[in-house]
Structure 1
Amino acid sequence: MAAASAVLQSEWTKIRTVASTTWTLAAAFLVTVAMSAGICALMAGSMEDQSQAERATFDPTLVSFSGMVLGQLAMVAFGVLVVSTEYSSGMIRTSLAAVPQRATFLFSKIAVAGLLALVVGLATSFLAFWLGQALLGEHGTSLGEEHVLRAVVGAGLYMALMAVFSMGVAAMLRSSVLSLVILMLFFFLLSGVLTLVPYAKDVAKYFPDQAGSKIMQVLPDAMNSDPAPYGPWGGLGIMVLWVVAVLLGGYAVLKTRDA
């Protein structure tokens, strides 16, 4: 029986020695911070042109996470590659021969990659916030304001959960291309389109990205967003349930199918 510490060390070695996983994490960090800073700079220059209603729902904390739209794309790619690369290279057979306990193998990989995604996510959210508030100037806020720290930490948690969700999907589908196509269509097409469709948008509010992103808002109706039937932590809880569901699905596939 493989020792848990040895399996964790092995998974850490795999992740840090594969260039694609390193680059996707770097992209998540850089794209989110750069895009967020650009949008904050634009918002700072256009505040005088906003209506009274727009100013009333202006959420400087949420604006500083504007780049998350593209940053989460890189996090999705990271999660998929962490799991599916072994299938595409054929190394999964060697890995399972070394660690026949499939639960130990899968959840050790997810634990290491998830922790790494969390560290990068938190570093991204705090830097994006500080840089964004500096660019917003007098229109910005601070960590000491009510609910702001929760939103900043929540943004990091959101990025990490997006990566772990993608790992579960990749474990079920066992294909980089198929996993990426489905996740991109789900998060960047279906989820967005349904929010524009009457009645369907009430269902879309419970999608992992829609629910989880509420944790990043300080104002409940920030930036004229639709009200949700749950609070910030409730939304994150819904996202966690999605993550647990796909991880269990990935484990079921790994346990019942040959490598």
Structure 2
Amino acid sequence: MKTVTTTISALPPRLDLPPDAGGGFLGAVRSEWTKLRTVASTWWTLAAATTLLLGGMAIAAVSTRSQHADGNPAAFTSSAPFITGEVMAYLVQWSIVILSVLMVTAEYQSGSIRNTLQWVPDRARMLLSKVAVLVPLLLVLGMVFGAVGLGIAILGLGEFGEAFTTDDAYNVVVGVALYLPMLGVFALGLAAALRGAAQTISIIFVVLLILPLMLPAIGLETVAAYLPGDAGVNLMRGTSHPIYPRPVGGLIVLAWSLTSLATGYLALRKRDT
């Protein structure tokens, strides 16, 4: 008894931390932000997105100018907002998909997901903390990319670009800023459900690009119109879809994102790691 008493008394006193000293939802958010900004893949994907934006705009401008330089009466021409939306939809968005997917799948690949779920055992809190980090980042990135892309398109197209209004320019920048966070949440939720980067990116590629191109060819234009890829393209172009107005397109993408996030949460609840 004397030995036990001595041992217990020799232990350091229990450290009672205040409720706001880490932990909770804000602690989980800080942890996710630290992970996101300290891994090399984040900076590589953002660099790739920037490169695709600049390269895509340059190609569109050079292609338009070269056609007009040859005096071709049927030369392609378009407006700067339209070109910005196209480059974002067919090039830049894939870097955003990869960034969002890797926030989940990289942890499964390295095995660090076990540590994450030990520190944040509440699956909803863990998943929402990733969303809370990803959405503001992509919102700001979308505004910057939309504005920079539009400016480059205006300079690149020059006198060969079609006229557009201030509202058109505003709609494109806002559309890109809204679409990228919703796309990120869509990819994040699907990654949480599937756990693997290859299968997640493959499915997203089919949903965003292949199906919107394939379904109209077999008479299913209406089905394609309600996919996130088709709705997202029109949202970023700043134009309404032939079937529904532009705000409805944003709601369609949002619905896909929330459904994907809910699916990822349910999958996380049903398995250990």
Normalising by structure 2, report the TM-score.
0.83
| 1:17 matches 2:38 | yes
d(CA) in 1 for partners of 2:102 and 2:59?
29
**Which amino acid in structure 2 is aligned with residue 107 of structure 1?**
L
Aligned equivalent of 1:205, options 207, 222, 225: 225
Larger radius of gyration: 2
Identity of aligned residues (%): 33
d(CA) in 1 for partners of 2:103 and 2:205?
17
Residue 224 of structure 1 corresponds to none
Once the two structures are superposed, the pairs formed by residues 142-181 of structure 1 within 5 Å of their partners are: 145-181=166-202
Q: Deviations over 1:145-167 (max 9, x none)?
A: 23320222212322232222110
Residue 84 of structure 2 corresponds to 64
Q: Give the conservation status (yes or no) of the 8 Å contact 2:191–2:264.
A: yes
d(CA) in 2 for partners of 1:64 and 1:70?
11
Root-mean-square deviation (CA), in Å? 2.3
Once the two structures are superposed, the pairs formed by residues 107-122 of structure 1 within 5 Å of their partners are: 107-122=128-143
Residue 4 of structure 1 corresponds to 25
Once the two structures are superposed, the pairs formed by residues 1-259 of structure 1 within 5 Å of their partners are: 2-47=23-68, 49-51=72-74, 58-68=78-88, 69-140=90-161, 145-198=166-219, 200-218=220-238, 220=240, 228-259=242-273
Q: Give the conservation status (yes or no) of the 8 Å contact 1:168–1:243.
A: yes
Q: Deviations over 1:162-190 (max 9, x none)?
A: 22211011011111122122222332323
Unpaired segments ≥5 residues, structure 2: 1-18
**Which amino acid in structure 1 is aligned with residue 80 of structure 2?**
P
Which deviates the most, 135-144 or 89-98? 135-144
d(CA) in 1 for partners of 2:158 and 2:181?
29
Q: Give the conservation status (yes or no) of the 8 Å contact 1:36–1:66.
A: no
Which deviates the most, 33-42 or 239-248? 33-42
**Which amino acid in structure 1 is aligned with residue 244 of structure 2?**
Y
Q: Deviations over 1:79-101 (max 9, x none)?
A: 11011111111111111111112
* Pairs aligned (count): 249
Residue 223 of structure 1 corresponds to none
Q: Give the conservation status (yes or no) of the 8 Å contact 1:32–1:66.
A: no
Q: Give the conservation status (yes or no) of the 8 Å contact 2:79–2:163.
A: no
Q: Give the conservation status (yes or no) of the 8 Å contact 1:212–1:236.
A: yes
**Which amino acid in structure 2 is aligned with residue 209 of structure 1?**
G
Q: Secondary structure at the match of 1:258?
A: coil
d(CA) in 1 for partners of 2:103 and 2:115?
16
Which deviates the most, 96-105 or 240-249? 96-105
Q: Give the conservation status (yes or no) of the 8 Å contact 1:59–1:218.
A: no
d(CA) in 2 for partners of 1:148 and 1:155?
11
Q: 1:43 to 1:86 in 2, by over 3 A?
A: same
Q: Give the conservation status (yes or no) of the 8 Å contact 1:61–1:141.
A: no
Q: Give the conservation status (yes or no) of the 8 Å contact 1:143–1:149.
A: no
Q: Give the conservation status (yes or no) of the 8 Å contact 1:126–1:152.
A: yes
Q: Secondary structure at the match of 2:243?
A: coil
**Which amino acid in structure 2 is aligned with residue 229 of structure 1?**
I
**Which amino acid in structure 1 is aligned with residue 271 of structure 2?**
R
Q: 1:257 to 1:59 in 2, by over 3 A?
A: same
Normalising by structure 1, report the TM-score.
0.87
d(CA) in 1 for partners of 2:151 and 2:164?
9
Q: Deviations over 1:204-259 (max 9, x none)?
A: 11100101221233455xxxxxx521111111111001001100111111122211
